[in-house]
Amino acid sequence: MSTRIDDRFAALAAEGRAALVTFVMAGDPDPATSLALVKALPAAGADVIEVGMPFTDPMADGPAIQAAGLRALKAGMTLKKTLKLVADFRAGDDKTPIVLMGYYNPIYVYGVPRFLVDARAAGVDGLIVVDLPPEEDQELCIPARDAGLNFIRLATPTTDDKRLPKVLENTSGFVYYVSLTGITGAALADYAGVSAAVRRIKGHTDLPIAVGFGVKNAENAAEIARNADGVVVGSALVEALKASLGPDNRATDKSVEAVIALVSSIAGGVRGAQRSPAPAKNGGALSWLTRLWA
**6, 28, 30, 50: which one is catalytic?**
50
> 3-class DSSP state for residue 92?
coil
**6, 30, 61, 229: which one is catalytic?**
61
Q: Which helix (H) or strand (E) holds 196?
A: helix 191-202
Q: Distance between CA atoms of 38 and 260, rounded to whole angstroms?
A: 10
| Helix ranges (DSSP H) in the chain | 4-15, 31-44, 63-74, 79-90, 104-110, 112-122, 141-146, 164-168, 191-202, 218-225, 235-244, 255-271
DSSP state of 95: S
- Amino acid present at 288: W
Closest CA to 20 of 206, 266, 260, 258: 266
61 is catalytic: yes
Residues 6+ apart with CB under 8 A from 40: 256, 260
Closest CA to 228 of 260, 251, 195: 195
DSSP letter string, 141-194: HHHHHHTT-EEPPEE-TT--TTTHHHHHTT--S-EEEE-SSS-TT-PPPPHHHH
50 is catalytic: yes
CB 209 within 8 A of CB 230: yes
Question: What backbone phi and psi angles, to 5 degrees, belong to 150?
Answer: -75, 140
Residues belonging to the active site:
50, 61
